[in-house]
């Protein structure tokens, strides 16, 4: 069991128009789309539907099949639980009584609209974010940030994090497997010690991981110096914005503006 | 599962744009400060180290331990990073971790990222670093004790900030979500505290040279003040928010944080809690008892660890 790159990275190789689009324009478009979703008023169902159609179009343009991001979009769902409470906004007309523990909650139409809108916004936004990393290699994304004036120290730390994430994940999986191998339990018998004992075990794993990471960072630095590292990370992909990129970005921003118009009409 | 998500990661769509932008503003200012401070004090040598440390925090979040009934405790890492790396470096490291979680795993949104960095990265680090600096020159046992208490409080502060931001975006009702979030994270925080204490104790025993934060250099009075102030604010707001949400709502409305036209979560919700102890005194009492239980637990663990060394 090793953490291969696909355990974390969603990038899917391709040559579609979205794959080839300049990364910084992709970041700008995705952020604009997400901001546009937050700006749409509650209950703007036609605009939410149109935003969903834009998303399907983007999926198709990326050559992934139109349901690609939908299948991977359930990560944000648990959080919707927190928003369930807005169902009971006292404004608006009551629809259904819910009885929980001798108390009566009224689900109102205003609450239902608010809840639906929050879930729609979040679900559309998370799908667009998934699409971004599906059609952009992570190092290119980091490079895009550099162009967008994110401080270099931050992008470099993120680049190292990405590079060593997989190495240290392997390390942690080895530690966890070793713990697993030493944690045999006979059927019918309680295994393991007290809560504090188990927590101490986990803490020792974390401490051990820290020591190994620290020592590794030293070797990494020496190896990088030996290969000519000069304090910043290079990429082979030239990031030039062509006319075609500007055109795609222009069309995308027009579409987003149209969504706003539809929502506030 | 490789990665167990933390409840605190807010996805996009749950924060109003105003709240998201205010959080981004605070985050940008604080991270910018952290970058200028670390740029001054660190050489090229330290940047790869911070990157590997960020990967360490990311990987350490995969370490879990069974608690009871199929639930497991695991690490968020703000306190551990603060103690091991010092506050400014820890802030940059946590920012990188949260940014990569949002970008790569969609764990937390992009526009909501400012709020997530603020809640889980900056707030937790400021509280832990500040409290730890108070006792940086004391005995190992005192340091471990404060380390655990700080880790617990930091998780609670993160949960409080998260629920307040959601409430100001009128995405959740204060009356239900604040007690639920704080209750849940009071438990999650115990796991965080136990793992943090055990990890630091392990390092103090095996590689004391790596745990140097605060023991050298100036005392960092600013951090001490910030840590104490944020802790005090958390300890004051937690009982107030969970016992008297209507009061909090009124204060926010008077200060202009809540718009007049915003949907108000009215007294209907209160019926659910009418049977429970509702008075501020009872709630503060419960909070104090909880804090004492955690302190006692940490004390016992600290003693056990001490006995081993």
In chain B, residues with a C-beta closer than 8 Å to the C-beta of A26 are none
Q: Would you give the distance in Å from CA A86 to the centre of its chain?
A: 25
> Structure tokens of B80?
């551990």
Q: What are B11-59's pLDDT values in tens digits?
A: 898 899 999 999 999 999 999 999 988 877 766 677 888 888 999 999 8
Whether A52 maps to a domain, the answer reads: yes
Q: What are B225-255's pLDDT values in tens digits?
A: 888 889 888 888 887 777 776 767 776 666 6
CB contact under 8 A, A169 and B176: no
pLDDT in tens, chain A (265 residues): 454 555 667 788 888 889 989 999 999 999 999 999 999 999 899 999 999 999 999 999 998 888 888 888 876 677 777 777 777 776 667 777 776 665 666 788 888 888 899 999 999 999 999 999 999 988 889 889 988 889 988 998 998 898 888 888 888 989 989 988 887 777 777 666 787 888 888 899 999 999 998 888 888 888 888 988 877 767 777 778 889 999 999 999 999 999 999 999 8
Residue (of B137, B138, B136, B164) closest to B22 by Cα position: B164
Extract the runs of DSSP E, i.e. beta strands, from B99-155: none
CB contact under 8 A, B199 and A221: no
Q: Would you give the distance in Å from CA A128 to the centre of its chain?
A: 9
Q: What are B178-218's pLDDT values in tens digits?
A: 887 888 888 888 888 999 999 999 998 988 887 765 544 45
In chain A, residues with a C-beta closer than 8 Å to the C-beta of B92 are 153-154, 157
Q: Would you give the distance in Å from CA A185 to the centre of its chain?
A: 38
Residue (of A74, A70, A223) closest to B48 by Cα position: A223
In chain A, residues with a C-beta closer than 8 Å to the C-beta of B105 are 8, 75
Q: Is B277 on the interface with A (CB under 8 A)?
A: no
CB contact under 8 A, A231 and B44: yes
pLDDT at B291: 54
> Structure tokens of B52?
């590997």
CA distance A261 to chain B (A): 18
CB contact under 8 A, B60 and A207: no
In chain B, residues with a C-beta closer than 8 Å to the C-beta of A79 are 7, 9-11, 14
In chain A, residues with a C-beta closer than 8 Å to the C-beta of B297 are 196
Distance CA B33, CA B91 (A): 10
Whether A205 maps to a domain, the answer reads: no
CB contact under 8 A, B56 and A213: yes
Whether A47 maps to a domain, the answer reads: yes
Other beta carbons within 10 angstroms of residue A7's beta carbon come to 15
In chain B, residues with a C-beta closer than 8 Å to the C-beta of A198 are 65-67
Backbone angles phi, psi at A257, to 5 degrees: -65, -40
Residue B71's DSSP bridge partners are B68
Contact A5, B2 (CB under 8 A): no
CB contact under 8 A, A172 and B15: no
The topology under which CATH files domain B17-308 is Arp2/3 complex 21 kDa subunit ARPC3 (1.10.1760)
CB contact under 8 A, A175 and B269: no
Distance CA A210, CA A242 (A): 45
Question: Which distant-in-sequence residues (6+ apart) come within 8 Å of A82 by Cβ?
Answer: B14, B166, B171, B172, B177, B181
Domain count, chain A: 1
Distance CA B227, CA B23 (A): 19
Name which of A79, A157, A175 is nearest B93 (Cβ-Cβ).
Answer: A157
Whether A210 maps to a domain, the answer reads: no
Q: Which residue segment(s) compose the domain that A40 sits in?
A: 12-136+240-264
Q: Report domain extents, chain B.
A: 17-308
Out of A96-110, A144-158, B144-158, B280-294, least confident range? B280-294
Q: Which residue of B has its CA nearest to A33?
A: B111
Distance CA B143, CA B149 (A): 10
In chain B, residues with a C-beta closer than 8 Å to the C-beta of A141 are 103
Name which of B13, B202, B297 is nearest A203 (Cβ-Cβ).
Answer: B202
Whether A104 maps to a domain, the answer reads: yes
Distance CA B31, CA B38 (A): 10
Give residue B3's pLDDT band: very low, low, confident or very high (50, 70, 90). very low
CA atoms within 13 A on the CB side of A75: 28
CB contact under 8 A, B264 and A90: yes
Q: What are B84-137's pLDDT values in tens digits?
A: 888 999 999 999 999 998 988 888 889 999 999 999 999 999 999 999 888 877
Instruction: Report whether pLDDT(B299) > 60.
Output: no
CA distance A11 to chain B (A): 9
Number of cross-chain residue pairs from A and B with Cβ atoms under 8 Å apart: 305
Distance CA A181, CA A258 (A): 58
In chain B, residues with a C-beta closer than 8 Å to the C-beta of A202 are 63-65, 73-75, 194-195, 198
Query: How do beta strands A103-108 and B71-74 pair?
Result: unpaired
pLDDT at B99: 93
- Judged on CB neighbours under 10 Å (0-12, 13-18, 19+), A18 is buried
Name which of B55, B60, B111 is nearest A206 (Cβ-Cβ).
Answer: B60
pLDDT at B219: 54
pLDDT at B300: 59
Name which of A125, A129, A217 is nearest B49 (Cβ-Cβ).
Answer: A217
Q: Is A210 on the interface with B (CB under 8 A)?
A: yes
pLDDT at A1: 45
CB contact under 8 A, B54 and A157: yes
Name which of B35, B48, B53 is nearest A151 (Cβ-Cβ).
Answer: B35
Give residue B266's pLDDT band: very low, low, confident or very high (50, 70, 90). very low
pLDDT at A120: 92
In chain B, residues with a C-beta closer than 8 Å to the C-beta of A68 are none
């Amino acid at each position: 069991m090793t953490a291969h790159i696909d355990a974390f990275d969603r990038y899917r190789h391709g040559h579609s128009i979205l794959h080839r689009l300049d990364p910084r324009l992709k970041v700008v478009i995705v952020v604009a789309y997400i901001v546009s979703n937050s700006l749409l008023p509650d209950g703007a169902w036609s605009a939410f539907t149109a935003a969903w159609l834009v998303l399907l179009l983007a999926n198709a343009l990326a050559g992934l099949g139109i349901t690609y991001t939908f299948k991977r979009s359930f990560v944000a769902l648990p959080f919707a639980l927190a928003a369930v409470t807005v169902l009971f906004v006292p404004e608006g007309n009551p629809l259904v009584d819910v009885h929980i523990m001798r108390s009566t909650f009224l689900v109102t139409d205003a609450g239902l609209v608010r809840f639906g809108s929050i879930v729609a916004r979040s679900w559309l936004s998370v799908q667009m974010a998934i699409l971004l990393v599906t059609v952009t290699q992570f190092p290119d994304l980091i490079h895009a940030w550099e162009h967008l004036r994110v401080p270099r120290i931050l992008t470099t730390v993120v680049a190292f994090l990405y590079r060593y994430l997989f190495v240290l994940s392997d390390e942690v999986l080895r530690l966890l497997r070793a713990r697993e191998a030493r944690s045999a339990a006979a059927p019918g018998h309680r295994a393991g010690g007290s809560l504090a004992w188990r927590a101490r075990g986990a803490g020792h794993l974390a401490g051990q991981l820290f020591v190994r990471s620290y020592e590794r960072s030293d070797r990494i630095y020496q190896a990088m110096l030996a290969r000519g590292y000069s304090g910043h990370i290079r990429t082979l992909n030239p990031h030039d914005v062509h006319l075609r990129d500007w055109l795609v970005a222009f069309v995308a921003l027009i579409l987003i503006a149209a969504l706003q118009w539809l929502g506030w009409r | 599962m490789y990665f167990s998500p933390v409840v605190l990661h807010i996805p996009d769509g749950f924060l109003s744009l105003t709240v998201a932008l205010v959080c981004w503003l605070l985050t940008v200012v604080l991270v910018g400060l952290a970058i200028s401070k670390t740029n001054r004090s660190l050489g090229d040598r330290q940047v790869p180290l911070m990157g590997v440390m960020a990967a360490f925090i990311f990987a350490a979040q995969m370490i879990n331990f069974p608690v009871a009934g199929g639930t497991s405790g695991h690490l968020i890492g703000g306190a551990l990073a603060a103690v091991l790396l010092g506050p400014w470096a820890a802030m940059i490291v946590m920012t990188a971790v949260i940014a990569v979680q949002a970008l790569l795993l969609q764990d937390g949104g992009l526009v909501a990222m400012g709020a997530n960095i603020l809640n889980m990265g900056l707030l937790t680090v400021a509280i832990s670093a500040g409290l730890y600096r108070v006792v940086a020159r004391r005995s190992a046992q005192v340091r471990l004790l404060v380390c655990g208490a700080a880790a617990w409080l930091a998780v609670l502060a993160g949960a409080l900030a998260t629920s307040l931001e959601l409430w100001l975006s009128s995405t959740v009702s204060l009356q239900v979500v604040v007690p639920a979030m704080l209750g849940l994270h009071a438990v999650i925080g115990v796991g965080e505290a136990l793992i943090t204490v055990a990890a630091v104790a392990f390092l103090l025993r095996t590689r004391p040279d790596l745990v140097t934060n605060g023991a050298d250099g100036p005392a960092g009075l600013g951090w001490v003040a910030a840590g104490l102030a944020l802790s005090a604010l958390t300890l004051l707001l937690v009982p107030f928010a969970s016992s008297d949400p209507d009061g909090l709502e009124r204060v926010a409305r008077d200060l202009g944080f809540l718009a007049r036209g915003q949907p108000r979560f009215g007294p209907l919700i209160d019926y659910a809690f009418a049977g429970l102890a509702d008075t501020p005194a009872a709630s503060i009492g419960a909070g104090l008892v909880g804090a004492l239980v955690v302190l006692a637990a940490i004390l016992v663990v600290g003693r056990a660890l001490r006995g081993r060394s």
